[in-house]
Every structure is written in C-alpha cells, then in structure tokens.
Amino acid sequence: MAEFYKNLYDKLKDYSETDSYPFHMPGHKRNTDLLGVSFPFDIDITEIDGFDNLHSAEGILKNAADKARKVFHSEHSYMLINGSTCGILAAIRSVTEYGDDIIIARNCHKSVYNGCLLNNLNMHFIYPPQDDKSGVSGSIAIDNVREAIENCMTAKAVVITSPTYEGVISDIKSIADIAHSYGIPLIVDNAHGAHQIFFGLNEGEPIQGGADIVISSLHKTLPSLTQTAVAHVNGNLVDSRRFERELSIFETSSPSYILMSSIDTCFDFLENSGKLFEEYRKNLHKFSESIKYLKHLTVLCHGSDDISEHKFYSFDTGKIVICTSGTNLSGVELMKLLRDKYGLELEMAYPFYAVAMTSVCDKREGFVRLSKALIEIDESILFSGNTVPVLPIPKPEKSGLSLAKASDKNLIVNDDKISRGYIFAYPPGIPIVIPGEIIDDEILMYIEVLKASGVNVIR
C-alpha cells in the first residue's frame, strides 16, 4: 500500500533520498553536486531596498536580464517566474487587439489557446503533418504557413511550437521570412528549447532565425528551478514596451527572489557551459551507439533510426522518444516498467511511445542505466512483425461558436456535441478538442484509445 504523508515537504525529502533517476523536468535533475548550490529560506525576500523590482528593473535584476540578452544574443530579454505560460499570454496580447485574426499551429500548448481566448481571437490553424513511423507531430511545413497567411491576410501573428514536447524542430528562418514578407510577426513557443544554442542545435534556433517573440522555459531543459523561463523580443514588428506592459498583467507582483536568483545563476552557468554541453553531447552519442542493435523498440533519431526517415526539419536528440509500435508493450506500459523495475522515471507516455527528457545535468550513470534497461526490455518483448498504423491525431470540426463564446458558461447551446471546454492529455497539455469544436465519434474513439492505454485525459 502507498505510504500516507501528512506533509508535502516530508514526502519530497523522502523521495529525494530514493534511487529513482529523473528522466523528466526540471532540467537541473536535482544534481546539486554539479551545480554547487541549493536554494533555502534564508535568501527568500521581497523587493526590499537594494534588490530592485522585476516590473521596473534598474539594478541587479536588470543586470540579470542583460546577461540573458548577451548569452541568447537577443535585443530585449525578460526573466519570467510564472513559466513560459505568462510569456505566451503576454506575447499574444502584445500583438493583437480584441477580435483579431491569428494563425496558430494546431499542436500548440493550451497556454496559446488561453492567450487567444483572452482577446477573443479568430484562430486559423496550420496542421503539422503526422510522422508515419512514430505518430508524433512533424515540423510545420513552410507551404502551409504561406497558404494560411494568404487565406488570412488580416492575421496579426503566426504562433508555432518549436521544439515540440517530443523534440521536433521547425525551420524557423523560412517561416519567419514568409511571415515578415507579409509584415506579420512570428511568435515561437520555445518552451522546450531554452538549451538550443548551447547544445549546438543551430538549425531552427528561433532567435537567430528571426522570430519576433521567443518564449523558453529554463526549467525544462536547463539547470533552473520549476516555473522559471525567459522571453525575448526582437526586430521592429513588436513593440517591446507593450510586451512589458502585458507581462506585468500576467506575472505576479511578488516575484520570488529564489526563482529569480535561480534564473540569474542559470545565465552565469550558460556563460561557461561549453565543456559541460560537450560532455552532454558525448553522453548522448554513447547512449545512441549503445542502443543501435535494438530489435523491436525504436528510439527516434538515435541508434539505428535516422532523421531522414521522418517528417522533421531537425530534431533535438536531448529528447529520448522510445517508440513501442508493433510490440506487445504500450508507451505507458514501458514507462511503468522503467519506473517499477529499473527505477527510471520518464517525463510522459502515449499509446505508442514514451519520452525521457535529458539535460546537461544528466549523469553518465543515468544514460547507462537507461540503455541497459532498454536493451533488456527489447529482448523480452514480443514483436508482431507488423508496424501498427499510427493513431491518427483527429482534426475536430469547428461549430461556428468562437473559443470565447463556447467557453461562456452562461450561453445555452442545444447541441451537446459542441465542446464547452478543453479536452487534453496531460502531459503534454496540447488540446485534443477546444471549446467550440465538435466532439464526433472519431474524437470519442481517440480519447477512448488514450484512456485505455493509461494516458491521463483531462476535461
């Protein structure tokens, strides 16, 4: 029976002393030996004299933002302590007025939809192609961006996610060039890509690629505490002052100095992290070599799998996406097996794959444990010989009710197929259905398959 705890701190402390290895966020991997710091109460203050003010930074907090500009090569950078979520909300509000048109990739995180909801925006979708081999969403096609803009020249922004939760990167430079040729800014939800330039993932790097607003969660892929993120504003299509005003609406007026010092320390770390990222790349390479001869499981863009087999412009190999298609194991079962038998805790699982998140703070020991576990599991599982067709991601029809209208609980609608809320698997928090879309049989079946395989579906 699970142990009962009266206090969260006690439970966290006990868990921290177990042998469980974290292949999940936060990116610091609780590796205090490497980072040499821990963050206790004695530095938890508020905006007392000499400690600046996040919402009007002039002193030590401005210095931290300046470091971000330098390490990320950005014109304007902002520390975020309410996650990428607050940066995404501010980004959308800073380029749109109430009732405007906006183009968004359909595989965006729910924070993007919430940003659209706040300004009652008319959303025009770009659907990423689905990768045949793995079922994950592929890179955004350039032609689809052009087509979406030509069909909606009044759009005030294009919003896409790159890298995705599964590590798929889009060609930001080409997408930015197209959007800019129509005078439209590009917002990139880079929540999973704060490490991109340091890791050497220059293809599709959004700041160099010309994206106008880039929002990156530091806590996901870099050594920084949960909730910490950074936003960058570049070019002249977005008014950075307006972005700042919007940010002050969505960010707490009592920003945690512990979180802000974690961000500042992360920027310092990045200034001198070349060797550590080199070591990280080497560890990933060794991992990749060690799983080259898996017979049944496939690890995306690792081992014997190659990017040319996928609909990906580029891929973040820091994401270890283990595909179970064609075997007698679902992604969720694989995740459970890795937890129960091998003490490896992964980030998320779907019916046909599971995702291990890695970072520059991972230890060689972690990669060795994961590869040994995968080799052993691969030998013990059954393979049907047929590659199971991937589960198609449904494209729900629109009802004609806007996101904002359908979310209005006071509105009476006599059609129970029209969704009044979001339905999404968490993680990754990408809506399967949004308010105003039709829940048809295909969607019900998709949700059933997710639930039957143990995925947590929230509605």
Ligand X SMILES: Cc1ncc(COP(=O)(O)O)c(C=O)c1O
- For ligand X, the binding residues (CB under 6 A) are 83-85, 109, 111, 161, 165, 189, 191-192, 217, 229, 428-429
Place of tokens 């699970």: 2
Closer to ligand X by Cβ: residue 83 or 331 = 83
CB closer to ligand X, 94 vs 327: 94
Least separation in angstroms between residue 185's CB and ligand X is 18
Q: How far is the CB of 204 from ligand X (least distance, A)?
A: 15
CB atoms within 10 A of CB 426: 12
φ, ψ (nearest 5 deg) of residue 53: -140, 120
The encoded tokens of residue 306 equal 């190659």
**Smallest distance, ligand X to C-beta of residue 114, A:** 10
- 358 contacts 284 by C-beta, under 8 angstroms: yes
Q: How far is CA 456 from CA 336, 351, 423, 424, 425, in A?
A: 14, 11, 11, 8, 6
Strands (DSSP E) along 164-227, which ranges?
168-169, 186-189, 213-217
**Residue 69 CA neighbour count, 13 Å, CB half:** 12
Using alpha carbons, list the distances in angstroms from residue 362 to 34, 153, 180, 367: 10, 46, 39, 8
Separation CA 197–CA 73 (nearest Å): 10
Which of 361, 330, 332, 362 lies closest to 347 in space, CA to CA?
332
Nearer to ligand X, 227 or 261 (CB): 227
- Give bridge partners of residue 383 from the DSSP assignment: 327
Q: How far is the CB of 49 from ligand X (least distance, A)?
A: 31
Nearer to ligand X, 110 or 369 (CB): 110
Compute the least distance from the CB of residue 207 to ligand X, in Å. 17
Closer by beta carbon to ligand X, 353 or else 367 = 353
Shortest separation between residue 428's beta carbon and ligand X, angstroms: 5
Residue closer to ligand X by CB (options 114, 122) is 114
Q: How far apart are CB 243 and ligand X at their closest, in Å?
A: 17
Nearer to ligand X, 88 or 418 (CB): 88
CA–CA separation, 62 and 81 (whole Å): 15
Antiparallel, parallel or unpaired: β 155-161 and 122-126: unpaired
Measured from the CB atom, the residue of 163 and 436 that comes closer to ligand X is 163
For the bound state, the minimum distance from the C-beta of residue 83 to ligand X, rounded and expressed in Å, comes to 2
What are the two backbone dihedrals, phi and then psi, of residue 435, each rounded to the nearest 5 degrees? -55, 135
Query: Residue 184 class from Cβ within 10 Å (0-12 exposed, 13-18 middle, 19+ buried)?
Result: buried
Cβ proximity to ligand X, 431 vs 436, nearer residue: 431
Closest residue to bound ligand X by CB: 83
Angstrom distance (rounded) from CA 325 to CA 299: 11
Nearest distance in Å: CB 91, ligand X: 11
